[in-house]
Amino acid sequence: MSDGVARFCTSCGAPVVPGEAFCTSCGARSDSAAPATPPSVAPSAPAAAVPAPMPPGPAPAAGAERVLAVIGNLTRQSGFMGMKQSTYSLVITDHRLIFAELTREKITAMVNQARDSAKAEGKGFFGQWGAQIGSSFNYHEVYWQMPPDAALAETPGNFAIPRSEFQKAKFKLGVTDEGHNTPDRLIIKAASGKYEFAVNGSLGAVKDAFRQTGLA
């Protein structure tokens, strides 16, 4: 007879049918059953217990200068009648505008590295040539990872304009007149003077970069 106390199999936790010699669930002898509450089942972990994705690295230190935009392939004319041309990358940070010159030495080093890498990958003449062209045109991308101070000190021709001295940026579309082409231009006015560059790329992308960084 039942003593009124619920019994459960100590092997699988299933209720034991009174009078049965064996557990009807797992086959264990029912005399091993003892008064108990059903074995506790560990509750499934709440959603909050699921590990969250790792954060994207340490946040910059308070007050650290941050790169907001990088614009490449800007050409500045100087010297007698503008005969001298220098190519710059513009690094816009939350503190200043840094102009990093693309020197001949730097171009030579980049082209050689791109050619050697393409050759090591088994690319032929045209593949190596394309890699050399792409290396110089996309060089400005390195400034996303380079600290602003390092970018400024990279070559003697580099210079910077503090954002506090920045006044205005103008974006002028080039024109074609009787076979004579003039490039799109970026003109920056600052307390220290006027800086004018030919844009060898998308003028719209340059304008967007200035707008997104609060300079237009």
Each domain of the chain, given as residue ranges in start order, spans 7-38, 67-212
Confidence of residue 1 (pLDDT cuts 50, 70, 90): very low
Residue closest to 99 by CA, chosen among 155, 137, 171: 155
Following CA atoms 180, 185, 191, 193 in sequence, which dihedral angle do they give, to the nearest 10 degrees? -30
For the segment 117-150, what is each residue's pLDDT rounded down to a tens digit?
A: 777 888 787 776 665 566 556 788 889 999 999 9
Percent residues over pLDDT 70 in the chain? 62
The pTM for the full model equals 0.62
pLDDT of residue 131: 59
Q: How far apart are CA 194 and CA 192, in angstroms?
A: 7
Q: Which CATH class is domain 67-212?
A: mainly beta
More confident residue, 127 or 81: 127
What angle, 0 to 180 degrees and rounded to 10, lies between the N-to-C axes of helices 125-137 and 104-120?
Answer: 140
